[in-house]
Amino acid sequence: MSKGQHSGTHSAPPPAPDPLPLPIVDNHTHLDISREGHEPVDVAAAIAAAKRVGVNRMVQVGCDLDGARWTVQVIDEHPELLGGIAIHPNEAPKHNERGDLAEALAEIEALAAHPRVRAIGETGLDYFRTGPEGVVAQQDSFRWHIDLAKRTGKALQIHDRDSHDDVLRILQEEGAPEKVVLHCFSGDVTMARECVDRGYYLSYSGTVTFKNARPLRNALAVTPLEHVLVETDAPYLTPAPHRGAPNAPYLTPVTLRLMADVLNVSVPTLCAAVSDNSEQVYGPW
């Protein structure tokens, strides 16, 4: 590739934010994924950079078979990490078409026996990227993951893109696991209140910092501190003003500080809340 062809994709990484006064947890990150045109993530360096600014623990999410296999290895090597594993809602229809969905789910179940896999996810529904032909496979797979979380006593991490009503309906129909996290929460005030009434946790990502995200900030404003989590979903959803650069766990404080403003609480108060809530959901580590 000629030099300059990808100018822009290799822009310097955003500077490290000021360290937080208390440690926090990045509830959802993909260290196994690097953005197109970028080197694979150096896991030890990513964890070190995160810890320098107070992000001392992370939930590593592997949501296809390769990612799940990688996750159970990396959580053994790094005590800062817990694992979440699942077949992603955009992957389930592909497995279904190939006729190997049952086999893939069986492998997820076997890998989920690892004691440091503490979340089943991300699972759920995505009506944005998968068309109507994939809905049945997505919903079947979602129901299966809900059942796995209940059978294993692990938290359920939900991906919900343009599918709020069906996500809430299916959770109700199946009976939700004890701990449910809506990862990258994208609902409005009404949905936030419904989730809180049901005892779910709402994990806010960099999207809450986006200029056009006022409805999401309004949802955050009515979320009680006991239900709030923070995440990067790295390498995606980089918080403003760094949109366009790859996201990484060391940028979590950018999102957390904006959240403290919206919630009208101090930064240390929110740090303590997200760490406590993370331990409530995943157990100590």
| Contacting positions for Zn ion (CB under 5 A) | 233
Quote the least distance from Cβ 170 to Zn ion, whole Å: 19
Residue number, nearest CB to Zn ion: 233
For the record, the structure tokens of 6 come out as: 């990808």
Give the chain's largest Cα–Cα span: 55
Q: Give the shortest CB-205-to-Zn ion separation in angstroms.
A: 9
Least distance (Å) from Zn ion to the CB of residue 196? Answer: 22
Rg of the chain taking only CA atoms, in angstroms: 18
Give the nearer residue to Zn ion in terms of CB position, either 17 or 67: 67
Q: Provide, rounded to whole angstroms, the least separation between the CB of residue 233 and Zn ion.
A: 5
Report the nearest approach of Zn ion to the CB of residue 251 (Å).
15
Residue 91 or 233: the one with the smaller Cβ distance to Zn ion is 233
For Zn ion, the closer CB: 160 or 233: 233
Q: Output the smallest distance, CB 276 to Zn ion, in A.
A: 23
User: Which CB, 47 or 263, lies closer to Zn ion?
Assistant: 47
The answer, yes or no, to whether the previous bond of 241 is cis (omega within 30 of 0) is yes
Least separation in angstroms between CB 186 and Zn ion? 12
In DSSP notation, the chain reads --TTTTTTTTPPPPPPPPPPSS-EEEEEE-TT---TTSPPP-HHHHHHHHHHTTEEEEEEEE-SHHHHHHHHHHHHH-TTEEEEE---TTTHHHHHHHT-HHHHHHHHHHHTTSTTEEEEEEEEEETTTS-GGGHHHHHHHHHHHHHHHHHHT-EEEEEEES-HHHHHHHHHHH---S-EEETT----HHHHHHHHHTT-EEEE-GGGGSTT-HHHHHHHHTS-GGGEEE---TTSSPPTT-BTBPP-GGGHHHHHHHHHHHHT--HHHHHHHHHHHHHHHH---
Q: Among residues 32 and 233, whose Cβ is nearest to Zn ion?
A: 233
Nearer to Zn ion, 219 or 237 (CB): 237
Minimum CB distance to Zn ion, residue 256 (Å): 18
Residue closer to Zn ion (CB basis): 139 or 205: 205
CB nearer to Zn ion: pick between 242 and 263: 242
